[in-house]
Chain A
Amino acid sequence: MISGRSNKKRGFIEAFELPPQTLPLLLWNDHPNDDDDDDDRKGVENSSFIAKKNDDGYCIVGWPPIKFRRKKICSHNRDDNDRTVLHNGSARAGVGGGVNPNSKYVKVKMVGVGIARKIDLSRHHSYQTLTNTLINMFGKCQQDAQSFKLAYQDREGDWLLAGDVPWRTFIQSVERLKILRIGG
């Protein structure tokens, strides 16, 4: 019984062309989506996310696509900052004391700026240093600072003007910050 394979050398064409194409299992017409019921945004409605709550509180599994190790490391950075003990209390603002058991990051949004920032309030001891840092963070100069005011959201969810209560009280209750324009 002669097998399908030949013992001769393969011709050039045979050797170097792609393997013979099998017939497609479904012939392609030009309008594949014609028999679909909905028209345009079908894909959006029907796609099913694998939506689970994972440790990070985010909904979509495996998104954004960063490696597990990287996720762990980043959250570790934050945890370690919170846990490690500082040796000799060098908590001067801006100095690399490095690790601070009391680091308190809060979100800051400036009206009109799309991207929010984060600031470590533990590095500050007065409203003055805080506002100076915020001004720099958002790229404004001291003169501009006059036309802004700082508001904060406290633990109860209320928005208040910063500066009315002593710094200590402020630090203990602040959850978020917002920079608003004075007047209109």
Chain B
Amino acid sequence: MAYSFPEEVLEHVFSFIHTDKDRNAISLVCKSWYEVERWSRRRIFIGNCYAVSPGIVIRRFPELRSVALKGKPHFADFNLVPDGWGGNVYPWIAAMAMAYPMLEELRLKRMVVTDESLELISRSFKNFKVLVLSSCEGFSTDGLAAIAANCSGRFSEESRISSFDLLSFATFFLSNQTKRYNRFELKPACEVDIGSPISLIPDFAHHWCPSTFPAWPPRCPSLRTLRLNRAVPLDRLPNLLRRAPQLVELGTGAYSAEHRPEVFSSLAGAFSNCKELKSLSGFWDVVPDYLPAVYPACSGITSLNLSYATIQSPDLIKLVTQCQNLQRLWVLDYIEDSGLDALAASCKDLQELRVFPSEPYDMEGNVALTEQGLVSVSEGCPKLHSVLYFCRQMTNAALVSIAKNRPNMTRFRLCIIEPRTRDYQTLEPLDVGFGAIVEHCKELHRLSLSGLLTDRVFEYIGTHAKKLEMLSVAFAGDGDLGLHHVLSGCKSLRKLEIRDCPFGDKALLANAAKLETMRSLWMSSCSVSFGACKLLGQKMPRLNVEVMDERGRPDSRPESCSVEKLYIYRSVAGPRSDMPRFVWTMKTPS
């Protein structure tokens, strides 16, 4: 007779286990643990919506309250995935409407979300609290109005559920808008933290009409996060801040106005009243003269997003050096090396730095930002572990310094704007530099490469990058050996995305089994033949091998012809049924 704990005890024990990884592990122990676990799981993250079907999820986990789904491949962010590719959330919503009437949270990334889906969400889930749409598209304000209308006013303070009151307010002027936005980033739309009710007004990119923006409601004691639309003028801001001095996160609207002393002092006064402010963003159209108004709040700021602020280095330096407790900075390359030196000297708690290009299509460069800036920050900021850096020149020596300075690096994404750029001092490829990064930074889990790179860099990566989970490669390598090193060496690899590299059939076919251990592989403008894709599809039933080709049917060309784009992902749901005319799945023969 087998002894085991009663199910209730197991369930209680499992309630302390939260991460997906741990939950997946305990479900493998034995059948009864599998059963207890699946009935008690409340939260699920599905990294690829096509890896599994709604039916399979619902069958296994009948009591979910929180679902997160991701749709399109990452390179969709850069226009590499044609419209109509897929990732429509509707089938999921329809299935969950029946199966999870108690659903509370939905987080979607890179999915197509139609108004129909939003309306269905608003009608189906009585306890709905959290909707986050990141990089999604396909909806308009009509859909959002439905969410606001149907999800508001149902929650009470006593049950410590969110208050959607401000959203019903948003509905008032949203309903005046009927335009349909194709490329819409809403992030986050209406996010609520249980226990500390938050409401947000969506920060629409361009099209919110300020003239319909009525007077702000009297007081919003529970408002924690507010991100304003760019059209909201600066002179509105002091009033808003005074009504919500407990704000933790603020996204300003346009940060420009004619210089008027009374507006300035009003603004400065309002900011000094915001004692809880930790995060600042927005700063569209910024006028430097108004920046000092923010200084009173700077000592508490931990996150600063200036990536839309077109101000020059001296003003940036003045602002950034006020923020001694800064942990995260997103900024344009106007900050230049001098600004990064100042950052390194003042912000010792910095953990994440992202430097975006102000003129990404300008080959010549317009700012004095070089590899030196990044080296300075890596020297001066001991907690720096996450970097995204766009620049125009680099050296192996700089990368080696960065690697040695920051062995705690976990995310390193470097984009040297001109493809295949050499080390400008030695004229060598940047293999050694990136090699140093993977060798010294043992916890590195995300890496993006750029510059001139040979197969050697992939050998270093395969040898050292044992914790690497996501790798992005462009215009690199000499041949199949490079890809082989990565696929055979990187034990933890989950996502690999490659564009414009001379990788072909051999490495792919030789490492076919590896692909089942990963979430997905993207290859575009490489040298993988249609024949190899077919072979892979035939031999690997648990992989969906999708060929994307806008030139027409791949079998209308010789088998040795390279495919335009290839997206391979593991799936228990079999080939998908919603492919557009330019996507073909390589099927397993039945």
Contacts and interface: CB of A to CB of B under 8 A. Distances in A.
Interface of A: 9-10, 15-16, 18-19, 21-22, 24-28, 32-33, 36, 40-44, 46-50, 56-58, 60-74, 76-77, 80-81, 87-88, 90, 95-99, 107, 109, 114-118
B36 to A, nearest CB: 15
Contacts, number: 177
A125 B385 CA distance: 46
A135 B556 CA distance: 62
A98 B502 contact: no
B5 interface: no
A15 B28 contact: yes
B368 A98 contact: no
Interface centre among A47, A61, A65, A81 (most CB of B within 10 A): A65
Contacts of A18: 517
A33 B78 contact: no
21 contacts: A18-B517, A19-B516, A22-B539, A25-B539, A32-B481, A32-B506, A47-B525, A62-B75, A62-B79, A63-B419, A64-B390, A65-B78, A65-B472, A66-B357, A67-B78, A77-B310, A80-B285, A98-B258, A107-B364, A115-B366, A115-B367
B179 interface: no
Interface stretch (B216-224, B287-295, B321-329): B287-295
**Chain A interface helix/strand/loop/mixed:** loop
B179 to A, nearest CB: 16
A65 B289 contact: no
Contacts of B539: 22, 25
B479 A33 contact: yes
B501 A47 contact: yes
Nearest to A80: B285
A106 B527 CA distance: 42
B479 A115 contact: no
B206 A76 contact: yes
Interface in B455-476: 472, 474-475
When A and B form their complex, which 8 residue pairs have the shortest distance between CB atoms, in order from nearest? Answer: A43-B502, A96-B289, A62-B78, A96-B287, A98-B256, A98-B287, A26-B509, A25-B509
Given A26-B506, A28-B484, A61-B80, A116 B183 contact: no
Contacts of B525: 47-50
A66 B284 CA distance: 18
A24 B78 contact: no
B77 interface: yes
Interface in B305-344: 307-308, 310
B408 interface: no
Nearest to A15: B28
Contacts of A114: 365, 393
B205 A72 contact: yes
B536 interface: yes
A176 to B, nearest CB: 11
Given A24-B512, A25-B512, A61 B366 contact: no
A77 B512 contact: no
Interface string B70-103: 0000010111100000000000000000000000
B30 interface: yes
A158 B215 CA distance: 56
**Chain B interface helix/strand/loop/mixed:** loop
A116 B365 contact: yes
B77 A118 contact: no
Contacts of B258: 87-88, 90, 97-98
B107 interface: no
B510 A26 contact: yes
Interface of B: 28-31, 75, 77-80, 135, 183, 185, 205-206, 256-259, 284-285, 287-290, 307-308, 310, 356-361, 364-368, 370, 390, 392-393, 415, 417, 419-420, 448, 472, 474-475, 477-481, 484, 499-502, 505-507, 509-513, 516-517, 524-527, 535-536, 539-540, 562, 564
Interface centre among A28, A44, A57 (most CB of B within 10 A): A28
Contact of A96 (B135, B259, B284): B259
Nearest to B472: A65
Contacts of A64: 357, 360, 390, 415, 417
Nearest to B565: A50
Given A22-B512, A62-B80, 11 more contacts: A19-B517, A22-B540, A32-B507, A33-B478, A33-B479, A47-B502, A48-B562, A50-B524, A70-B356, A97-B259, A116-B366
Contacts of A116: 364-366
A133 B505 CA distance: 56
B30 A9 contact: yes
B288 A96 contact: yes
Contact of A117 (B30, B366, B419, B536): B366
A43 B415 contact: no
Contacts of B135: 67
Contacts of B392: 115
A16 B366 CA distance: 54
Nearest to A10: B28
A50 to B, nearest CB: 6
A114 B505 CA distance: 41
A46 B500 CA distance: 10
Nearest to B205: A69
A28 to B, nearest CB: 4
A107 B506 CA distance: 48
Contact of B535 (A21, A25, A90, A99): A25
Contacts of B516: 19
Nearest to B481: A32
B276 to A, nearest CB: 28
B474 A63 contact: yes
A76 B78 CA distance: 18
A57 B360 CA distance: 11
Nearest to A22: B513
Contacts of B506: 26, 28, 32
A32 B480 contact: yes
Contacts of A73: 205, 284, 308
Contacts of B527: 46-47
A61 B79 contact: yes
A42 B361 CA distance: 27
Contacts of B484: 28, 32
